[in-house]
């Protein structure tokens, strides 16, 4: 009885750890730079995303001369805040 429990616990732990590394975008910034890093002979490159930019121009200036592209962050909430409330007019 103890072995199946330990086996299931190990499987769920491994699945949970794999999901945590899948987050590639930081939702705090609107622009991400996708860096392409070559792996040398035989491939195996490890590209990554750097989501620390507030504008496309800022990202493009940083990416200039690098193997990189700049894109809007699909996980950034551009219109998250509600519009300001209007005050009712006072009638005299």
Those residues with Cβ within 8 angstroms of residue 54's Cβ, 6 or more apart along the chain or in another chain: 29, 30, 31
Rounded to an integer, the average pLDDT of 32-57 is 85
Q: How confident is the model at residue 66 (pLDDT cuts 50, 70, 90)?
A: very high
Kindly report, residue by residue over 74-86, the tens digit of the pLDDT.
899 876 665 566 7
* pLDDT per residue as tens digits for the range 22-42: 557 888 899 999 999 876 666
Both tokens of residue 66?
A: 């690098």
DSSP E strand boundaries for the chain: 31-35, 48-53, 68-72
pTM given for the model:
0.56
| Contact between residue 78 and residue 30 where contact means Cβ atoms under 8 Å apart | yes
CA–CA distance, 71 with 55 (Å, rounded to integer)? 10
* φ, ψ dihedrals at 48, nearest 5°: -150, 170
Helix, coil or strand: residue 75:
coil
Q: How confident is the model at residue 20 (pLDDT cuts 50, 70, 90)?
A: very low
């Amino acid at each position: 009885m103890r072995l199946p429990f330990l086996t299931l616990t190990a499987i769920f732990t491994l699945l949970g750890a794999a999901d945590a590394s899948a987050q590639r975008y930081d939702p705090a910034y609107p622009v991400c730079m996708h860096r392409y890093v070559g792996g040398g002979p035989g491939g195996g490159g490890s590209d990554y995303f750097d989501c620390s930019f507030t504008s496309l121009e800022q990202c493009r200036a940083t990416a200039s001369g690098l193997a990189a592209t700049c894109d809007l962050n699909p996980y950034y909430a551009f219109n998250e805040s509600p519009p300001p409330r209007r005050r009712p007019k006072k009638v005299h």
